[in-house]
Chains A and B, each alone.
Chain A
Amino acid sequence: MASETLTTSSYIQHHLTNLTYGKLPDGTWGIAQTDDQIAQMGFWAIHVDTMFVSILMGVLFLLAFRAMAKKANSDVPSGWQNFLETVVEFIDTSVRGSFTAKNDLVAPLALTVFVWIFLMNFIKLLPVDFLPGLLSLAGLPYAKVVPTTDPNATFGMALGVFILMLYYSIKNKGLGGFGAELAFQPFPKFLFPVNLLLEVVGLIAKPISLALRLFGNMYAGEVIFILIAVMYGTGMVLGTFAGFLQLGWAIFHLLVITLQAFIFMTLTIVYMDMAHQEHH
C-alpha cells in the first residue's frame, strides 16, 4: 500500500478484512467499501474473496484429480499421475489405518479435505500484497485471499464434517443408540443429566476445535506475514532483513500448511470412525 495516509495498524487491518457482499445501509445490495458497512451487514453477507478462492481451489483440485482419474490405468505411471497417485495412496493408507468400518464416503472425504485445505493454505505463500494489490488495481476495496484465514471457511468445513458425523451416528446407531451414547456414559445411567452435558459439550467441541485449530494457525501465520511485509516500508536494512524473515517463515509454513491440512484430515477420519463405532 503506497498511500501515505495509511498507518501500520490500518494496513494490517485492511489486510485482514474480507471483500464482503451484502445489504448496504442504503438498502441496496453491493460490496461494502468500509469497515462500518461490513459491520452493519450482519449475518446475511458473503465474503466474496473467500468463496471465490476456495471454490477456485476446490475446482482446481477436482479437475486435476479428475483428469488423472480418467487416465488412470495399471501401467507404469509418469509425472503428475505418479505424484497424484502418491497423494491418493497416502490418504488411502491413512484411512485404512484409522477408519475400521466400511464406508465408501470416508476416503474421498479425506482426500477432498486434505487437498482442498492444502491448496487454500498454499495461497498464503504468495506475498501478502501480491493478489490484494492486483485486486485493488481492479477497484476492489478489500481482499483477504487465503480462505483458511477466514473463520467462515474453516467453520463451514467443520460444519460439513459435523453434519456427516451426526448423520452417520444416527444411521449406524439409530436415534436411540446415539442418544444412549450421549446420555448413559461415562457415568452410571442415573447420572444422565451430567453425562448428557459432558457428552454434548464434547460432541460440539469436535467441530469447533477442528475449525479453530486450522483458522488459528493460518490466521496467526498470516498476521506474521503481514507484520513482515510492514517492515519492507521501513528502510533498506530492515527491508532486507524482512526479506530473509519472509523466506524463513514461508519455508516453515510449507510444513505448517501441510501439517494443518493433514491434522484436519486425520481428525475428520477419526470422527467419522467414532460415528461408526458401537460404544457399549
Chain B
Amino acid sequence: MNINATLIGQAISFFVFVWFCMKFVWPPIIAALEERKKKIADGLAAAERGKHEQELAQQRAAEVIAEAKKEAAGIIAQAQKRANEIVDDSKSTARVEGERILAAANAEIEQEVNRAREQLRGQVISIAVAGAGKVLKREIDAKAHDDLLQDLVAQI
C-alpha cells in the first residue's frame, strides 16, 4: 500500500479526462438536451393552444347552432302564421262565394217561382176567364167586365 508516482499519473489523467469531457463531451450533450426540452415545451404549448382553439370553435359552433335554431323557430312561426292567414282567407273567400252562390240560387229560385206564378196566374186567369166566360156567356160581355177580372187576377 505504498504511495508512489502513480499518484501523479492519476492526477494527470484526471485532469486530461476532465478537460476532454469539458471540451468535447458535455457541451453537445447538454445542448441537445436543452434543445429537446425546449422542443417538448413548445409542443406542449402548441397542444395547449390547440385545445384552447378547439374550445373556442366548439363555443362558436354552439352559438351558431343556437342562432340557427332560433331562426328556424322564427321561420316556422311565420309559416304557421302565414298558413293560418291563408286558411282564414280561403275560409272567408269560400264563405263569400257560398253566399254569392246561395244568393244567386235564391234569386233564380225566386225568378222561377215568379215565372211559375206568372204562368200560373196567366193560366188561372185563362181558366177563370174561361170558367167565368162559360158562366157569363150568356149574361156578360167579356170586354165589359175585363177591368173587374184584372182586379181579381191581381188579388190572387
Contact = CB atoms under 8 A, between A and B. Distances in A.
Contact of B36 (A54, A62, A74, A155): A74
Nearest to A154: B10
Given A107-B26, A111-B26, A112-B21, A46 B4 contact: yes
Given A70-B28, A111-B25, A105 B33 contact: no
A156 B20 CA distance: 18
Interface stretch (B11-19, B49-57, B111-119): B11-19
B100 interface: no
B1 interface: yes
A74 B10 contact: no
Interface in B1-51: 1-11, 13-18, 20-22, 24-33, 35-36, 38-39
B13 A85 contact: no
A84 B25 CA distance: 11
A112 B18 contact: yes
A159 B4 CA distance: 13
A157 interface: yes
B6 A153 contact: yes
Contacts of B33: 72, 85, 88-89, 92
Contacts of B9: 46, 51, 152, 156
A159 B7 contact: yes
A51 B6 contact: yes
Contact of B39 (A61, A62, A69, A74): A74
A84 B20 CA distance: 17
Given A51-B10, A108-B21, A152-B10, A85 B3 contact: no
Given A108-B25, A160-B11, 9 more contacts: A54-B13, A72-B28, A74-B32, A84-B29, A105-B22, A109-B18, A111-B26, A147-B10, A157-B10
Interface stretch (A36-44, A188-196, A198-206): A36-44
Contacts of B7: 152, 155-156, 159
A89 B34 CA distance: 10
A246 interface: no
A150 B28 CA distance: 34
Interface of B: 1-11, 13-18, 20-22, 24-33, 35-36, 38-39
Closest 8 A/B residue pairs (Cβ): A156-B10, A72-B32, A152-B6, A160-B14, A74-B35, A108-B22, A108-B26, A74-B36
Nearest to A45: B4
A22 B35 CA distance: 51
Contacts of B3: 43, 151-152, 155
A276 interface: no
Interface in A57-109: 58, 61-62, 65-66, 68-70, 72-75, 77, 84-85, 88-89, 92, 104-105, 107-109
Given A88-B29, A88-B30, A150 B17 contact: no
For A70, A84, A85, A156, the residue with the greatest tally of chain B CB atoms inside 10 Å of its CB is A156
Contacts of B5: 43-46
